[in-house]
Amino acid sequence: MIELRSDTFTKPTHAMLEAMFSAYVGDDVFNEDPTVNKLQSMLADKFGMEAGLFCPSGTMTNQIAIKCHTEPGGEVICDKMSHVYIYEGGGIAFNSGCQVKAVEGNHGRITARQILESINPDDIHKAKTQLVSLENTANRGGGSCYDFNEIEEIKKVCLQNNLKLHLHGARLFNAIVARKESRKKYGNIFDSISICLSKGLGAPVGSVLLGNKDFIEKARRVRKVFGGGMRQAGYLAAAGIFALENHIDRLAIDHLHAKQIAEALSKKDFTGVMMPVETNIIIFEVGGDYTPKTLAEALKKKDILVSAISSTQIRMVLHLDVSDEMVKQIISVVESL
């Protein structure tokens, strides 16, 4: 089977397993796991940030960040399709007692102007706007990337209005590789950044939250409350270190594969509107002789797994377990449909 449902399906390579097997570990709840500490400082250094916190999931890193940046009764501004809002089980309300102002963005990206217009006035009837959360790349935007200029404008609005700025960077490395950007620029501008190691980077588990020392100290406390304090987590952190050392530059291959498959799809009558393919995600509308469900079934018969993400759209995600050979096979199956 060729797995295109998500880049979360990646399995550790043999070399990654060896790195995990030989990790030095300790009790991370006591801050004594050398491999976890190494992963956290390695990633913080890459972004020029002060500290990092290793967590079991991307959802947890986002939820901890939101909890640390807000007070109950507050409001968080984000795109209406952002993961923190639609895919984290109502966690913003559940964990932080905050509500969301969901903004209609352009392929998952919101603008400084929209944010400015969404800030509530200082009025006792209104929830206090406290945080802006951006997603880069934006999953439901088809892996779209922010223009850094827009992020700079957003930061100005945040500073002028005393708002914190969180980057939900599950696939931040995809954006950085696609746009050939500097990591430190991101570290400089955001109050916190969450990064998934278990997507295209290929680690089996784990995400890291980055921020300044005070923020991460607070986050460590919240992680414990959320039940995310892990003990000999160094075996998992070792996979993350291996991924950071070996699997970042190769994301460009996934982006190329996505473009090749998108090109084959775009020649088919059943392909309707396709979101711009900037990174490793392809999202397109299905029409003609197929519905998303029947197209997914037809592909499955040819050993290709994709997801029908709505009643009109299919999503395909490229990652390190999809080889050049498999991409050729996918393209010939698409051409045969």
Ligand X SMILES: *Cc1c(COP(=O)(O)O)cnc(C)c1O
Residues lying near ligand X in the complex (CB under 6 A) are found at 8, 57-59, 83, 135, 139, 168, 170, 196, 199, 207
**Toward ligand X, which CB reaches closer, 135 or 191?**
135
Q: What's the CA dihedral at 167, 170, 173, 176 to 10 degrees?
A: -40
Gap between the Cα atoms of 14 and 119, Å rounded: 49
CA 61, 65, 71, 74 dihedral sign is negative
Least Å from the CB of residue 322 to ligand X: 17
Q: Which is nearer to ligand X, 163 or 170 (CB)?
A: 170
Query: Shortest gap between Cβ of 72 and ligand X (angstroms)?
Result: 23
d(CA 128, CA 44) in angstroms, rounded, equals 30
C-alpha closest to that of 17 among 322, 235, 249:
235
State in angstroms the smallest separation of the CB of 302 from ligand X: 26
CB of 120 to ligand X, least distance (A): 26
Minimal distance, residue 126 CB to ligand X, in Å: 28
| C-beta atoms surrounding 179 within 10 Å | 16
Coil vs helix vs strand at 193:
strand
The secondary structure of residue 96, as a DSSP letter, is H
Nearer to ligand X, 114 or 280 (CB): 280
- Of 57 and 161, which has the nearer Cβ to ligand X? 57
Tell me whether residue 83 or residue 107 sits nearer to ligand X (CB atom). 83
Q: How wide is the angle at C-alpha 53 spanned by C-alphas 47 and 56, nearest 5°?
A: 120
- CB closer to ligand X, 27 vs 321: 321
Minimal distance, residue 321 CB to ligand X, in Å: 16
Q: Which is nearer to ligand X, 95 or 207 (CB)?
A: 207
Peptide bond into 70 cis (omega under 30): no
**C-beta separation of 210 from 52 below 8 A:** yes
Nearest to ligand X of 54, 290 (CB atom)? 54
CB 32 within 8 A of CB 234: no
E-strand stretches of the chain: 2-3, 51-55, 74-79, 99-103, 128-135, 164-169, 192-196, 207-211, 271-274, 281-286, 304-305, 307-308, 313-317
Q: Please, what is the minimum distance in Å from the beta carbon of residue 170 to ligand X?
A: 3
The least CB distance from residue 267 to ligand X, in Å, is: 28
Question: Could you identify the residue written with the tokens 């990064």?
Answer: 195
